[in-house]
Amino acid sequence: MKIGYLGPKGTFTHAAVEAVFPHILNVPYHTIPQCMDAVRDGEVEFAVVPLENALEGSVNLTIDYLIHECNLPIVGEIIAPIEQHLLVHPSQLDDWKHIKRIYSHSHAIAQCHKFLHRHLKHATYEYVTSTSAAAQYVSEHPKENIAAIGNRLAAKQYGLAIAKENIHDYDYNHTRFIVLHRERCLLPVKDQEDGFKTTLMVMLPKDQAGALHQVLSAFAWRKLNLTKIESRPAKTGLGNYFFIIDIDQKMDDVLIPGAIAELEALGCTVQLLGSYPYYTVKKTSLV
Ligand SMILES: O=C(O)C(=O)C[C@]1(C(=O)O)C=C[C@@H](O)C=C1
């Protein structure tokens, strides 16, 4: 059995996979779409990709590729703490305050804006596919006055030095990663899950007054607790959006099917993206 993840080695996604699936062979993919395609095409059984960060919000590429391009069920979720460090080639360690360019994933740079503004105002940013791709680039260009933002695993993997630890702007920094499979299934995980969620995609009927209010009522009067509601462009015209709704429980026989039926009766299109266990990774079990 194989698990694909957003690579190369040393991403936060890699750390999350190793924490929850230590016994399964993992395979890095360069981009989030490549990772999802690998499951769809049967190269790997599961894929783990980032979905949402507590400081920066959703990873839009993951949501959009899942909805528009690669319809795979969500079968699990991993919530992991994120600590960002400023990584440099060891030969640049004494000179880190004069770094000219910083490489990282856009989310990682956004999580450190206050630090960057205060300490590296003059530096420019270069957005790459992941934090470890940034670390790899820095390690391959020892003569350039550059740095990466990433984790300890990447520093170790690519032989970089940590110039400044914990440069993320807020202490509570966590990312949610989703696990995808070709069909709904139980996860090959030995640990006890921390809970369950159900995720729906809901498209409202066009131009109907109070439609969103009615959608929310379908959950409210059933006392279905929502942990997230987010809109994304349907990509069919200005003002056309779909909603991603997370419900704080497992699919049941009555309440969630009842809410879905009510939404459909209102003229909404509803798709069940998954009903799945989630696992919370502790700081100590990460890098
Ligand atoms: O680049 C990585 O290390 C990733 O795993 C991606 C990612 C993200 O997409 O949000 C994951 C966690 C952090 O929030 C920063 C980057």
Q: Are 144 and 178 in the same domain?
A: no
- Which atom of ligand 1 is closest in space to residue 130's alpha carbon? 1
- Which atom of ligand 1 is closest in space to residue 80's alpha carbon? 12
Tally Cβ neighbours within 10 Å of residue 109.
21
- Using the predicted structure, report yes or no on whether residue 94 has a pLDDT greater than 80: yes
- Which atom of ligand 1 is closest in space to residue 133's alpha carbon? 1
Share of the chain above pLDDT 90, in %: 91
Q: Are 180 and 70 in the same domain?
A: yes
Q: Are 48 and 11 in the same domain?
A: yes
**Beta carbons of 200 and 245 less than 8 angstroms apart:** yes
Q: Are 32 and 142 in the same domain?
A: no
Q: How far is the CA of 184 from the centre of ligand 1 (A)?
A: 25
Helix (H, G, I), strand (E, B) or coil at 278: strand
Q: Are 78 and 90 in the same domain?
A: no
Kindly report the protein residue whose alpha carbon is nearest to atom 1 of ligand 1: 130
- Which atom of ligand 1 is closest in space to residue 13's alpha carbon? 5
Q: Are 10 and 128 in the same domain?
A: no
Q: What is the pLDDT of residue 142?
A: 94
- Using the predicted structure, report yes or no on whether residue 284 has a pLDDT greater than 90: no
Q: What is the pLDDT of residue 283?
A: 73
Q: What is the pLDDT of residue 218?
A: 98
Number of domains the chain contains: 3
- Using the predicted structure, report yes or no on whether residue 71 has a pLDDT greater than 60: yes
The pLDDT of 66-74, averaged and rounded, is 95
- Domain of 219, CATH number, reads 3.30.70.260
Return d(Cα 97, Cα 216) in angstroms, integer. Answer: 50
Please, what sign has the CA dihedral across residues 140, 143, 146, 150?
Answer: positive
Q: How far is the CA of 142 from the centre of ligand 1 (A)?
A: 24
Q: Are 61 and 92 in the same domain?
A: no
Name residues contacting ligand 1 (CB within 6 A).
Answer: 6, 11-13, 50, 53, 59, 82, 105, 107-108, 130-132, 175
State which of 3, 6, 63 you would mutate to test the pocket of ligand 1, scoring each by most atoms of that ligand within 8 A of its C-beta.
6
Q: Are 177 and 48 in the same domain?
A: yes
Q: What is the pLDDT of residue 24?
A: 95
Q: How far is the CA of 108 from the centre of ligand 1 (A)?
A: 6
Q: How far is the CA of 34 from the centre of ligand 1 (A)?
A: 15
Q: What is the pLDDT of residue 205?
A: 87
- Domain of 109, CATH number, reads 3.40.190.10
- Using the predicted structure, report yes or no on whether residue 208 has a pLDDT greater than 90: no
Band (231; pLDDT cuts 50, 70, 90): very high
Mean pLDDT of the chain: 95
Q: What is the pLDDT of residue 286?
A: 53
Q: What is the pLDDT of residue 27?
A: 98
Q: What is the pLDDT of residue 209?
A: 86
- Which atom of ligand 1 is closest in space to residue 5's alpha carbon? 5
**Beta carbons of 92 and 145 less than 8 angstroms apart:** yes
State which of 53, 63, 287 you would mutate to test the pocket of ligand 1, scoring each by most atoms of that ligand within 8 A of its C-beta.
53
- Using the predicted structure, report yes or no on whether residue 265 has a pLDDT greater than 60: yes
Q: Are 24 and 132 in the same domain?
A: no
Q: Are 130 and 69 in the same domain?
A: no
Q: Are 60 and 180 in the same domain?
A: yes
Q: What is the ipTM of this complex?
A: 0.96
- Note the pTM of the prediction, 2 decimals: 0.95
Per-residue pLDDT of 27-59, as tens digits, reads 999 999 999 999 999 999 999 999 999 999 999
- Which atom of ligand 1 is closest in space to residue 150's alpha carbon? 3
- Residue 190 is assigned to a structural domain of this protein: no
| Cis upstream peptide for 8 (omega within 30°) | yes
Return d(Cα 77, Cα 179) in angstroms, integer. Answer: 6
Q: Are 151 and 222 in the same domain?
A: no
Range of the domain at 28: 2-82+173-185
